[in-house]
Structure 1
Amino acid sequence: MVSPGIHFLDARGPAGMRLYAIGDVHGRLDLLAAMHGRIRDEIERDPPEDWRVIHLGDYVDRGPDSKGVIDFLIEARQRDPRHLMLAGNHDVGFLDFLRAPDPDGLFMRFGGVQTAQSYGVPFNEGPNAWFGKAETLFRRAHAALVNAVPQSHVDFLRSLNFSVSLGDFFFCHAGIKPGTALDKQSPQDLIWIRDVFHDHTGLYPKIVVHGHTPVPEAQVLPNRVNVDTLAWQSGMLSALVVDGSDKRILTMTVKAM
């Protein structure tokens, strides 16, 4: 018998565990640190039995301090493994670029230049980086970036899971393919899917909490919650908080870069 699915209003987190799911950071260390400070204050002021902070991916690109964001997340996870980090398409794209540089790929076209700059490596932008003298400069910049990125950052990016399920909630970066069991979702869909997921109005076995597609403010629908509020540009980072049957949106705002 097929499960009828669950509605957001009926969804509950794990008993005794408060959940915080933070949307796309994209190099905004200031917003991430401020959000962690707010969460820490809440936990100290009103301690739950247990908690998890789930980061939904896209830590790098576009914003000014991707390196700082990764340093921050590594330290947070080492301090307390209840900080969970999932992979986003930009995080995977960063690894792909380090392995095989493509001047027309995701990294170079959508904010990777800012990521490289955060490691102290300047890149020439544009589609003609493979030609003539520009090709040599591009390859030299790539080699410099490979040398500049600490192995601990590469290891961190490689360690990222693509999803996690807690209570009545399923967390991933982009969304899921409707009609496919949650435990059978492909990594490609989990970090890239958009329209077929967004257009699906039926209920899922769990509420899907995701980012990847920017919205002006956190979007709460019967079957999913989108907490990507374009932090790198808007100056607003959003999170879903789940505490038993209580659900709310937490926002942190800093002046846009």
Structure 2
Amino acid sequence: MFKSLFRPKQQTRKAASTDGRVVYAVGDVHGRLDLLDGLVARMTEDFQALGRPDKPVLIMLGDYVDRGAQSAAVIDRLITLGGQARDGHFDFRALMGNHEETLLHFLDDPMAGPSWVEYGGGETMASYGVQRPVGRAEPEVWEQTRQAFRAAFPPAHETFLRQLELMVVYGDYVFVHAGVKPGLPLERQVAADLLWIRNEFLDNPHGLKATVVHGHTPTEEVFIGRQRINVDTGAYATGLLTAVRLDGGEPKIIQFSKARAA
């Protein structure tokens, strides 16, 4: 369903600095807890094999919810990972995706519901035990659904989502969910572009002296270019979740694959 978004794999790029850190950036999870758990285990093994005395950085690039069946459990796992980071095991940075933004809009406005369920929000509702309206529901039905969803949505989950970051920078790498608006410096980037931009960013040089690491646009293969790295491999549909390890050398791709859930 997203073949029109595929881009060919680019082979060469110049290595960039991470300010001495080992950084793992994870693509769009979309309710696939099984893949997230498997990939976290792979990244843990990878870092242990490096034998470094410092601690790594784990960056989640957004879109944790929708489409897959385990959105609530994914948020639970991310909160747990944040707790482990506070205990000193690693640094944890979680970015907001456009799907998290839409979920938060629905918590505040019932009329955000119809568009949300078109893009997988119904699966997220179900993961919290709430049934989506059937057919073209009236506004009062959506308000009832919003109230039921808010009642089922744990306060800790809302706090986690509302504290998500829009952008993280380590050395020569900029981490965002969707991309950046070409021609603008980082300090002038706005949330709408960081969360939603697609072709304008994918098809044009962004002009930053940095490599932008992002998800949002699913591809058959990880895209590694001089200006950007895309690690969204469509986990909810393909059963393949991807991360990239960045440490000042060549990027290393780490993946966990599982047969698509029925």
- Report whether the alignment pairs 1:72 with 2:85: no
Q: Show structure 1 runs of 4+ deviating over 6 A.
A: none
- The match for 1:241 is 245
CA contact (8 A) 2:43 2:254 kept: no
**Corresponding residue to 2:57 among 42, 45, 52:** 52
Deviation of residue 33 (structure 1)? Answer: 0.8
CA contact (8 A) 1:20 1:240 kept: yes
Alignment deviations for residues 227-246 of structure 1 (CA, whole Å, 9 cap, x no partner): 11110010000111112223
**Corresponding residue to 1:107 among 116, 127, 137:** 116
Deviation of residue 73 (structure 1)? Answer: 0.2
1:106/1:211 CA distance change after superposition, 3 Å? farther
Deviation of residue 139 (structure 1)? Answer: 3.0
1:167/1:149 CA distance change after superposition, 3 Å? same
Whole-Å separation in 1 of the counterparts to 2:46 and 2:253: 14
Whole-Å separation in 2 of the counterparts to 1:138 and 1:177: 34
Residues 226-237 of structure 1: pairs in structure 2 closer than 5 A: 226-237=230-241
- The match for 2:198 is 194
Whole-Å separation in 2 of the counterparts to 1:199 and 1:75: 37
- The match for 2:8 is none
CA contact (8 A) 2:168 2:174 kept: yes
CA contact (8 A) 2:183 2:206 kept: no
| Letter aligned with residue 12 of structure 1 | S
- Report whether the alignment pairs 1:138 with 2:147: no
- The match for 1:119 is 128
1:125/1:176 CA distance change after superposition, 3 Å? farther
Runs (5+) with no aligned partner, structure 2 = 1-11
Deviation of residue 137 (structure 1)? Answer: 4.1
- The match for 1:4 is none
1:55/1:103 CA distance change after superposition, 3 Å? closer
Residues 144-183 of structure 1: pairs in structure 2 closer than 5 A: 144-183=148-187
1:9/1:150 CA distance change after superposition, 3 Å? same
Runs (5+) with no aligned partner, structure 1 = 1-6
Alignment deviations for residues 76-130 of structure 1 (CA, whole Å, 9 cap, x no partner): 001114121000000010000011012664422110000000001111244x111
Deviation of residue 138 (structure 1)? Answer: 3.5
Alignment deviations for residues 170-224 of structure 1 (CA, whole Å, 9 cap, x no partner): 0000000111001221011100011110111465311000011111111112210
Percent of pairs with identical residues? 38
CA contact (8 A) 2:82 2:92 kept: yes
**Corresponding residue to 2:137 among 111, 117, 129:** 129
Deviation of residue 136 (structure 1)? Answer: 4.6
Question: What is the TM-score of this pair, normalised by structure 1?
Answer: 0.90
- Report whether the alignment pairs 1:214 with 2:222: no
Whole-Å separation in 1 of the counterparts to 2:169 and 2:247: 15
Whole-Å separation in 2 of the counterparts to 1:193 and 1:40: 31
| Letter aligned with residue 43 of structure 1 | F
Whole-Å separation in 2 of the counterparts to 1:223 and 1:125: 44
CA contact (8 A) 1:22 1:238 kept: yes
Whole-Å separation in 1 of the counterparts to 2:115 and 2:248: 38
Alignment deviations for residues 129-154 of structure 1 (CA, whole Å, 9 cap, x no partner): 11xxxx55433222111100000000
Q: How many residues were matched structurally?
A: 245
CA contact (8 A) 1:210 1:227 kept: yes
- The match for 1:11 is 16
- The match for 1:3 is none
Question: What is the TM-score of this pair, normalised by structure 2?
Answer: 0.89
Alignment deviations for residues 150-176 of structure 1 (CA, whole Å, 9 cap, x no partner): 000000000001000001100000000
Whole-Å separation in 1 of the counterparts to 2:206 and 2:193: 18
